[in-house]
Amino acid sequence: MNLSRTARTTLWAALAGGLAVVYVPLLIVLLNSFNADRTFGWPPAGFTLRWWEAAWNSAGVRDALWTSLQAALGATAIALVLGTMVAFAIQRHSFFGRDAVSLLIILPIALPGIVTGIALNNAFRTVLEPFGMGLGMFTVIVGHATFCVVTVYNNVLARLRRLGSSVEEASADLGADAFTTFRLITFPMIRSALLAGGLLAFALSFDEIIVTTFTAGAGVKTLPLWIFENLFRPNQAPVVNVVAAALIILSVVPIYLAQRLSGGEAGAR
Amino acid sequence: MSDPAVRLSGLRKSFGAVHAVTGVDLDIADGEFFAMLGPSGSGKTTVLRMIAGFESPTSGTVELGGVDVTRLAPFERDVNTVFQDYALFPHMSVLDNVEYGLRVKRVPRAERRERALAALASVRLEGYERRRPGQLSGGQRQRVALARALVNRPRVLLLDEPLGALDLKLREEMQVELKSIQREVGITFLFVTHDQEEALTMSDRVAVFDRGRVEQVGTPAEIYERPATAFVAGFVGTSNLISGSAAQAVLGREGTFSVRPEKLRVAALGDPVDGAEHSATGTVSEVVYAGPATRFVVELDAGGRLIALQQNLQVSSMDVMGLRGTKVRLVWHRRHEFAIVS
């Protein structure tokens, strides 16, 4: 389509403005993590790695990071298993209520976190407490898994839909039993979808705060919870800044990889 | 007499209330090039899938070389399939695709490499071993699918609309090539098609399917020259039916009769008619000039219409176009008219 010069300039300006609103603050967080001035004066007073060092040596940050990693890995593992299974069920079999099940699987990602959080909090306390179990790491993982399943499910479902079932029939036709077919044909063909879905699930879980607030017990502090707690303590501000900067980098990588994996395959076909 | 390569007995398949195959009995001989021809929804593909083992019959049996395989899984049957969409494994090279069947059957690496290369050579795809299916044209993919199936030396090769996805030119080339490959390897080829020309040119025998049943089995010439039913007459070529009062008036007989268009001669009204010939008068309502031949649509005075195909041996489009609206006499030899079951 041909656009006039003015239209093109305006659209470019609009794009730049929109992106700036999102990315300039992020950039400032990154820059400030190296800012020698404790109160983040502008322009930066000088370059320092002091805050990075302080964050690295902070036991609170380390514990929170480790907690977050455990929660994200746990939620991702559950999401990979359940999401893949349900995607196969929906795509390869027809059964009563299939559309309803599909909707129920996707719904948690659209549900406000606060609703999921309150509901899970009530449920966990009602069901688990009689057994002497309280809120803790397990409940955080389950809470995160409710919406992490969706990303794996969507990725695998889309892949299965595109593959069709004729390659699996071809494999059986050439003499491979069901297990061999899965190992040599189906799994390699959905592998990148699993990875993409898993990375997205990991990223979703890693920075989740609302559901976490309601499902984490007293002893469990994920990185987002730690940040929120320390945000308004003036002497912790530089360290919070460093953690935020580190999180930006940590979450960009999996999203970038996930997008390349799901987009790259499509382009190669 | 050895057992037939494929024997189908009383084969039926229903999907819920839909009866896709309603009783098929067929014997296909060893080394035969056999076509299952029919419109979409006639049950031919379902029969093919039951032979491959992807569908299990509601009732009836499938025998391969005298052995009942009705209850066996696809990977336990000595047949291989060339799928309509080829179903190549996109994440494997051409060579790995072709080797796949031997690999899962644990054929030693050196032997399977050798056989795969030979199979690729037989479909003229040397030099493409390292390519991915995504880097090949439609015709090349089709040949990879063929090599992948043939390398296993199955008792029967099943082909599901093998040429359906190719353009006309390539399709004609592959028809010839498939036929010569089949002659070379000597494997029974059983293929499904809705294209009557493809079925007639390639096969030793043809089974014409309609609504889940076999209407007629025979050589291409038998099917074309002596169609058993009105459906076969109409599906394989132009039916040209003479029936009811027209049959009485023209042939002096009851029933439904058919004459192929190229067997009709367009003559002047006063032309003499041989004792061995029949004729009918009518008005030319349409003239279609198609290069080597011209198609005349003639409305018979006795009722009904016949289509006559005349080779343009000495005439041009100018000559034949002038015949529209004129009265003519259509003449044919009696042995070219045949009664059909309607």
With CA atoms as reference, the chain B residue closest to A183 would be B104
Distance CA B207, CA B38 (A): 8
| Domain chopping of chain A, boundaries | 60-268
In this predicted structure, the answer to whether residue A251 has a pLDDT above a threshold of 60 is: yes
Domains and CATH numbers, chain B: 6-227 (3.40.50.300), 241-339 (2.40.50.100)
> Residue B297: which residues within 8 A CB-CB, separation 6 or more?
B284, B285, B286, B287, B288, B305, B306, B307
Distance CA B77, CA A98 (A): 33
Q: How many angstroms separate the CA of residue B190 from the nearest CA in chain A?
A: 15
CA angle B230, B311, B250 (to 5 degrees): 45
Percent of chain A as helix, strand, coil, to the nearest 5: 80, 0, 20
Contacts of B104 in chain A (CB under 8 A): 171, 174-176, 180, 184
Radius of gyration over every alpha carbon of chain A, rounded to an integer in angstroms: 23
**Beta carbon pairs, A and B, within 8 Å:** 65
Contacts of A170 in chain B (CB under 8 A): 81, 83, 87-89
Q: How many angstroms separate the CA of residue B5 from the nearest CA in chain A?
A: 18
Q: In a mutagenesis test of the A interface, which of B69, B75, B98, B107 is the best target, namely the one with the most A β-carbons within 10 Å? A: B75
Q: How far apart are the first and last CA of chain A?
A: 27
Beta strands in chain B (DSSP E): 6-15, 18-28, 33-37, 59-64, 67-68, 79-82, 156-160, 188-193, 205-210, 213-218, 241-243, 256-258, 265-267, 277-290, 293-300, 305-311, 327-333, 338-339
Distance CA A190, CA A194 (A): 6
With CA atoms as reference, the chain B residue closest to A167 would be B87
Distance CA A151, CA B239 (A): 58
Q: Cβ distance B73 to B53 under 8 Å?
A: yes
Does residue B24 sit in helix, strand or coil?
strand
Q: Which of B75, B85, B89 sits opposite A175 (nearest CB)?
A: B75
Q: Name beta bridge partners: B332.
A: B278
Distance CA A122, CA B146 (A): 61
pLDDT at residue A38 in the model: 74
- A167 and chain B in contact, CB less than 8 A: yes
With CA atoms as reference, the chain B residue closest to A177 would be B75
With CA atoms as reference, the chain B residue closest to A269 would be B134
What is this structure's pTM? Answer: 0.77
- A264 and chain B in contact, CB less than 8 A: no
pLDDT digits (tens, 9 = 90+) for B53-102: 999 999 999 999 999 999 999 999 999 999 988 999 999 999 999 999 99
In this predicted structure, the answer to whether residue A268 has a pLDDT above a threshold of 50 is: no
pLDDT digits (tens, 9 = 90+) for A120-158: 999 988 888 888 777 889 999 999 999 999 999 999 999
Residue A231's CB is within 10 A of a number of other CB atoms, namely 12
Distance CA A243, CA A231 (A): 11
Predicted confidence band at B1 (pLDDT cuts at 50, 70, 90)?
low
Q: How many angstroms separate the CA of residue B291 from the nearest CA in chain A?
A: 42
Q: Which of B54, B101, B104 sits opposite A169 (nearest CB)?
A: B54
pLDDT digits (tens, 9 = 90+) for B101-160: 999 999 999 999 999 999 999 888 889 999 999 999 888 999 999 999 999 999 999 999
Predicted confidence band at A254 (pLDDT cuts at 50, 70, 90)?
confident
Pairing of β B59-64 and β B67-68: antiparallel
Number of H helices, E strands in chain B: 10, 18
Distance CA B23, CA B50 (A): 13
Torsion over CA: B8, B12, B15, B20 (sign): positive
Look at B87 and A176 and tell me if their CB atoms are within 8 Å.
Answer: no
Q: Cβ distance B282 to B306 under 8 Å?
A: yes
CATH match for A60-268 among 1.10.3720.10, 1.10.760.10, 3.40.50.150, 3.40.50.300: 1.10.3720.10
